[in-house]
Structure 1
Amino acid sequence: MARYLFTVWPFVGHINPFMSVARALKARGHEVAFYSSESTRATIEPQGVVLFPFNHLREAPIWEAVQAAETRATLGWHSPRLLIRAFRDWLAGTLPEQVADIQEIIEEWRPDVVVTETGMWGPIVILGETSPVPVAILTTLMGCLIPGPDAPPGGPGLPSPRTFRTRLLAKAVTKLGDVLAVGVRRHVNMIRASHGLAPMESSVNAHMARLPLYLIPSVREIDYDRRDLPPSVHYVGPCVWNKADGAPAPAWLDQLPTDEPWVHVTEGTAHYQDPVVLRAAARGLANLPMQAILTTGSQRDPDELGLGPIAPNIRVERWVSHSDLLPRCSVLVTTGGAGTVLTALQLGVPLIIVPTHWDKPDNARRVVEAGASLRLTPRRCTPAGLRAAVERVLNEPSFRLNARRIARIMADHPGPVGAAELLESLAMRSSTASERAETLAH
């Protein structure tokens, strides 16, 4: 039996894939603990997982940075300086507190492996080199952040660098990102110096290639079919967990007509901007020969969003389990959160993605290049624009066929069980190395 410490930010789309792997490890007889917010206790502890809440790390600046980056951004466009400021204040700014907290947990609980997300930099840039416990990455993203010639730089959703023009564009954006991130890297290197570490000569993303294991809950076919990654990187397929699994589906689902296609429209669980997608759907899909199910997110009251008169073929709810709803749907309209997109593809449902912020433009680009989605910019997400996009995806078989092709590929990947096996192998290698070192010392 081994112990695994998962370090993860308290966002639903981050907690869920981590919990899917945690449950797989527990089923194999291991112990798992999470380092996250106190607010996640009601989600984490019922799964038989220990929670070590943030102690030195203060949460208020995190939420302020995230909400500021979202609410101040124009729909579909993040100012690079705004993103850099968020990374400086959040990912880099909390480094000393992350490290202090996790070091205390390592001393008290003695895990065999630390499993971190790509946005929790403490284990990646400090503890991976100062702690005897190996650090693995389980990304919450759809692709690998380690830079390479097969993929564009993350952020704006650039096309894959397969032509002279797109390669030149990728190089230019990479150079701009490096210039803008100088201050963030300087701060990270100051923290590294305080722990006796040499300065990083590359970006944090490039530094991730030095860790022994990098798990991606996706498939290569929707990560630009990359062949330029180190052997530490493994595509394990979707790692999906839904805390409502096992609960009965809402009765009203069985009351909707089944002789018309169903279209699900969602802006995700946490959306702080204008509800442009829901509003366009409520108006653009009204009175068409389809059933549209709109979900607002549990934190928003549907009556306060100004969606206007709701037509008989449209249903508005705060939340519906994707495991209950998506298998019945012909199209999913989403802003492009990784968990939502991967769940749809796992079920073979084609998408329309209206990317808003963070990793969503990149997610849209990946699925569009795989032929399973249309990308609709927020500015073009008008009632007429969304209606035309939905009708096109419904009427052109290629979207459905490509989504089902991706679903078959995903079905051939091991998912959470495969991730658990790779983590077990890392723990075993680390244990063997430690035993060998002790033997030599004696």
Structure 2
Amino acid sequence: MSTYLLCATPAHGHVMPLLQVATHLAAGGHRVLFLTSSRYAPRIAAAGVEFRALPDAADVDLDDAASVPGRAGLTGPAAIRFDMLHLFLRPGAAQLAALRALLADTPVDAILTEPLFVGAALLVETPRAVRPPIVALGIFPLGIASRDTAPFGLGIPPRAGWTGRLRNAALAIASRRLVFAPVAREADAIARHELGHPLGRFFLDWHSAADAVVQFTVSEFEYPRSDLPPHVTFVGALPPAASAAAAGDLPDWWSELSGTRPVVHVTQGTVANSDLGQLVLPTIAGLGGSAPLVVVSTGGAPVARVPGPLPENVRVAPYLPYDLLLPRVDVMVTNGGYGGVQQALRHGIPLVVAGRTEDKVEVSARVAWSGVGIDLRTNTPAPDAVAAAVRRVQGEPGFRARAASLARAFRAAPGLAGLDAVLDQVGPAGTEADPIESFARRGVR
């Protein structure tokens, strides 16, 4: 059995997917350590995983990012630039110190990290012979740079042909030198201080140098790249958490999800739900009194934030078990959380998305590009716009057909068994001089 170290920046949307991975590895008999904020220690310990605490300098509360001065109201590239500088890069040195101290005390066979754990981005710049393999876990849209895609963070879909490549090259220059120039300068400054040299590549593309990238989606939901590195493996979605809900734990209206009327599910996820007026309330206003049953999950926010009286066709709960709910859903309205979108597509559910913050601008763009739904291109759609998009998704069979096609791809994907296969291929420190060439030679994809 092996020893694995998982690393996550302190945010629910980063920690919870990696905790699923950690639980899977622990169930397989491996020793698993998890480095993140002490706020998550009880949940990690309950999963049978060994918790390791980030130092105070790296323990930033990303779940409360909206309260950071200067963050409110930012969307798209401006929001990503702010987050990179203030929330992710600046704790990077302390993350690297924590990694080094932990590795000096406990040798591990591989480090598994989400792409925004900057300590791993710095560690990957050290020689392979003196560090464990580093595996980036793709819990957000794939951000690896390509001649065939616009730079990550702009929310711009691909354009075919040489004109598209010229556009992408121009956008890449503008992105690095203008849009994300402060990010690149900060990343290089941290690397010079910690490593003695700047990063070998643009920071947002650091995981192209990881020993492996395991992307938790299917290739059909990602932009095609003719230059995709061979160390990138698509394994499908993380499995939904198995529901522990007994019949008595379900809402008293659950029996109404019987298939006698269409069901529209709306959610703002479990983090970006402090203002339900962004998407939940406009959806209720737009679809209230119409034919579909509108099922709202507040993601843990108090149900009282959904003001009454509710229209006769609206049902609300703080949490709903997705493994039980999604097979009954016809259309999902979401702010574009990556995990939730993957779960919807596993069930062939077409989407209406309204998200422009964090990585959601890229998720939303992929929903529209792949043909599985409509991108409203805003955080705060009007009720009429939501209602019109839902009606269009319901009425035009192409959306459901494309979503069904992706559902077949998800069913065929290996899931966490694919991660196991990748971990079997990456050897301990010093066993592969060129991990990317090794993956190409072995045909791992």
State the TM-score, normalizing by the size of structure 2. 0.88
Structure-2 residue corresponding to 1:438: none
- In structure 2, the partner of 1:269 is 270
Shift of residue 420, structure 1, vs aligned partner: 1.9
Paired residues of 1:283 and 1:383 also in contact (CA < 8 A):
yes
Whether the aligned pair in 1 keeps the contact of 2:266 and 2:297 (CA below 8 Å) is: yes
Within a 5 Å distance, the mapping from 1:364-403 to structure 2 comes to 364-378=364-378, 381-403=381-403
After the TM superposition, which residues 172-187 of structure 1 pair with which residues of structure 2 at under 5 Å, given as runs? 172-180=170-178, 181-187=180-186
- What do the CA deviations read for 1:102-123 (whole angstroms, capped 9, x no partner)? 1121122221111111101111
Q: Distance in 1 between matches of 2:69 and 2:169?
A: 25
Judged with a 3 Å threshold, the aligned counterparts in structure 2 of structure 1 residues 64 and 355 are, in CA distance, closer, same or farther, namely closer
Partner of 2:246: 248
Task: Give the corresponding residue for 1:209.
Answer: 208
Q: Relative to structure 1, is the Cα distance of residues 60 and 230 closer, same or farther in structure 2, using a 3 angstrom cutoff?
A: closer
In the alignment, what sits opposite 2:42?
A: 42
CA-to-partner distance for each residue in 1:322-372, whole Å, 9 max, x for gaps?
112111000000000000000000111111111231111211111222111
Q: Percent identity?
A: 27
Equivalent residue of 1:88, what SS? helix
1:258 maps to what in 2? 259
Q: Do the aligned residues in 1 keep the contact of 2:282 with 2:382 (CA within 8 Å)?
A: yes
**Contact 1:134/1:430 (CA < 8 Å) preserved in 2?**
yes
Equivalent in the alignment of 1:287: 289
- Within 5 Å, give how 1:335-354 maps onto structure 2: 335-354=335-354
Q: Is the 8 A contact 2:58 2:92 kept in 1?
A: no
Match of 2:139 in 1: 140
Q: Which residue identity is paired with 2:284?
A: A
**Deviation, structure 1 residue 284:** 1.2
2:279 aligned counterpart, secondary structure: helix
User: Displacement of 1:408 after TM fit?
Assistant: 0.5
How far, CA to CA, are the matches of 2:153 and 2:118 in structure 1?
18
Secondary structure of the residue that 1:129 maps to in structure 2? coil
CA RMSD of aligned residues (A): 2.5
1:326 equivalent in structure 2 = 326
Aligned to 2:122: 125
- Cα deviation for residue 12 of structure 1 reads 2.9
* Equivalent residue letter for 1:239: L
Aligned mate of 2:86, from 86, 89, 93: 89
CA contact (8 A) 2:146 2:227 kept: yes
**3-state SS in 2 of match to 1:52:** strand
Instruction: Give the aligned partner of residue 311 of structure 1.
Output: 311
Equivalent residues of 1:20, 1:241 under 8 A apart: no
Residue pairs, 1:402-421, within 5 angstroms: 402-421=402-421
Contact 2:353 2:376 in 1 (8 A): yes
Distance of 1:237 and 1:70 partners within structure 2: 36
Alignment partner, residue 170 of structure 1: 168
Q: What one-letter code is carried by the residue in structure 2 that aligns with 1:148?
A: S
Size of the aligned set, in residue pairs, is 426
2:442 maps to which residue?
Answer: none
Report the equivalent of 2:188.
189
For residues 313 and 344 of structure 1, do their structure 2 counterparts lie closer, same or farther at Cα, with a shift above 3 Å needed? Answer: same
CA change 1:432–1:149 in 2 (3 A) is closer
C-alpha contact 2:283 2:383 (8 A) present in aligned 1: yes
Residue 57 of structure 1: SS of its match in structure 2?
Answer: helix
- Cα distance in 2, alignment partners of residues 193 and 281 from structure 1: 49
Shifted more, 362-371 versus 173-182: the winner is 173-182
User: Which residue of the partner structure matches residue 158 of structure 1?
Assistant: 156
CA distance in 2, matches of 1:304, 1:196: 48
Higher alpha-carbon deviation: 13-22 or 276-285 = 13-22
Deviations, residues 114-170 of structure 1 (Å, cap 9, x unaligned)? 11111011112235515421211112113x211002222112311213256654543
Give CA deviations for 1:286-331 in whole Å, capped at 9, x if unaligned.
Answer: 1111111011221x223235x4531111012212121121110000
Q: What is the rounded CA distance, in whole Å, between the counterparts of 2:88 and 2:144 in structure 1?
A: 17
The whole-number CA distance in structure 2 between the counterparts of 1:353 and 1:280 is 13
Q: Is the 8 A contact 1:65 1:89 kept in 2?
A: no
Match of 1:200 in 2: 199
Match of 2:299 among 297, 300, 305: 297
Relative to structure 1, is the Cα distance of residues 196 and 330 closer, same or farther in structure 2, using a 3 angstrom cutoff?
closer
Contact 2:125 2:199 in 1 (8 A): no
Specify which of 107, 110, 125 is matched with residue 110 of structure 1: 107
Structure 2 gap ranges (5+):
434-445
Structure 2 distance, partners of 1:425, 1:389, is 45
Which moves more between the two structures, 416-425 or 19-28? Answer: 19-28
Q: Distance in 2 between matches of 1:398 and 1:273?
A: 32
Distance across 2 between alignment mates of 1:397 and 1:362: 24
Measure the CA separation in 2 of the matches of 1:380 and 1:53: 37
Letter in 1 for 2:269: G
Contact 2:66 2:72 in 1 (8 A): no
CA distance in structure 2 between the partners assigned to 1:16 and 1:313 by the alignment:
32
Distance 2:25 2:91 in 1: 29
What amino acid is the match of 2:305? E
Q: Tell me the amino acid that sits aligned with residue 285 of structure 2.
A: R
TM-score, length-normalised on structure 1?
0.89
Q: Distance in 2 between matches of 1:25 and 1:431?
A: 23
Q: Summarize the Cα distance change of 1:380–1:159 in structure 2 as closer, same or farther, 3 Å threshold.
A: same
